[in-house]
Amino acid sequence: MSEPASANAPKPSSSVKLVLLGEAAVGKSSLVLRFVNNDFQENKEPTIGAAFLTQKCSLPTRTIKFEIWDTAGQERFASLAPMYYRNAQAALVVYDVTKPSSLTKAKHWVAELQRQASPGIVIALVGNKLDLTNDSGDASESAATENEFESTPNADEAAGEEGEEQDVTPGDARKVPTREANTYAEEEGLLFFETSAKTGTNVVDVFTAIANAIPESSLKTGRGTGAGTGQTALSGRSEDSRVNLGDRNAATAKEGCAC
């Protein structure tokens, strides 16, 4: 699916604002990097850099352009901007399958989204770092596996560590059983996936599932506030009446800015 938007026939295209949430070092940015660039960096710095990425996702009947908002590290001191999730149509709440506390944190984020975000928001719960477990292939089969191994002391920072191959396979580092997270996701009505940003397992699937789960109605009205679904003779106009500041930038580059 990660083919660029080269579809010949113009399909209806809609923008979807997607926010990323989760504890530090669970691999939020790595997931996005895999999805957008099909790339992985072993020892990625904590996110300071790209915080706004776009990627198109082509469905049979339409094209979804994800506007992906990374937290830019602003979650550290409880300072994530309200506008970060306001008007988001989708959220990716990420935890680390080798770190139980990160699932606890993920549940907090889900609760906060349910409280603060648009009522119709599509939330996907994603257990990342599947490559550190024994069942790095198919997530659904591994539900009952409780592992006996101690995780490596720094497993929680694995994505940020050197992480040579031999280091990560003394055994299965999984600490969060698939079944536990899946049950929770079902109770809360979330999409659920286990992924590996490192190997790419399931990454594209997450975004495709989200794209499919976005209700058609919420696409038509653009980034509706969710509450104002009342019909009006002029509905669907909001996207059209946006002013594009990029226009003047290009158009008047030669004559120089007014200031």
Partner 1 sequence: METLAETPWDVIIAGTGLAQSLLALALSRSGKKVLHLDKNPYYGGAEAAFSLDEAQDWMKSVNQHPGQSPFQDVTLSTYQHPQDPHDSSTSTQGTPEVCPKLAASRSYTLSLCPYFLYTRSKLISTLISSKVYRQLDFMAVGSWWIYSLEHSDAENSDLGATRVLNRVPGSREDVFADTHIAMKSKRTLMRFLRHISKPQDEENPEGDEDLSMSFEDYLTSKFSFPPDLQSPLLSLSLSQLPLQETSANYAVARVKRHLTSIGAFGPGFGGVISKYGCGSEILQVACRASAVGGGVYALDTGIESFTENEHAAGEEPPVKAKLSTGETVQTQFMVGSLWDLPNQESPSASFARVTRSITIVSSSFPSLFPITVEGAPLPASAVLMFPGDTLGSPQSPPVYLQVHSSDTGDCPRQQSIIYGSVSLAGPEGQSLLNSAVDRLVRAEGPQAAVLWSMRYTQVGRLSNGSAEPHLHTLSPHVLRIPPSGLDLAFEDDTVDVVQEAWQRIVGDEVGREEFMVFDDREASDE
The residues that touch partner 1, with contacts defined as CB under 8 A, are 4-5, 36-37, 48-56, 72-74, 76-79, 81-84, 86-87, 116, 119, 223, 225-232, 234-235, 237-238, 240-249, 252, 257-259
The DSSP annotation for 61-77 comes to S-EEEEEEE--TTTTTT
CA-closest candidate to residue 195, choices 103, 95, 112, 102: 95
User: Facing residues of 58 across strands?
Assistant: 63
CB 252 within 8 A of CB 154: no
CA-closest candidate to residue 219, choices 211, 227, 207: 211
For the bound state, the minimum distance from the C-beta of residue 232 to partner 1, rounded and expressed in Å, comes to: 5
Q: Which is nearer to partner 1, 78 or 144 (CB)?
A: 78
Q: Which is nearer to partner 1, 144 or 257 (CB)?
A: 257
For the bound state, the minimum distance from the C-beta of residue 171 to partner 1, rounded and expressed in Å, comes to: 30
Q: Which is nearer to partner 1, 9 or 83 (CB)?
A: 83
For the bound state, the minimum distance from the C-beta of residue 114 to partner 1, rounded and expressed in Å, comes to: 12
Q: Which is nearer to partner 1, 91 or 173 (CB)?
A: 91
For the bound state, the minimum distance from the C-beta of residue 11 to partner 1, rounded and expressed in Å, comes to: 16
* Strand ranges across the sheet with 52-58: 52-58, 63-69, 13-22, 90-96, 122-128, 191-194
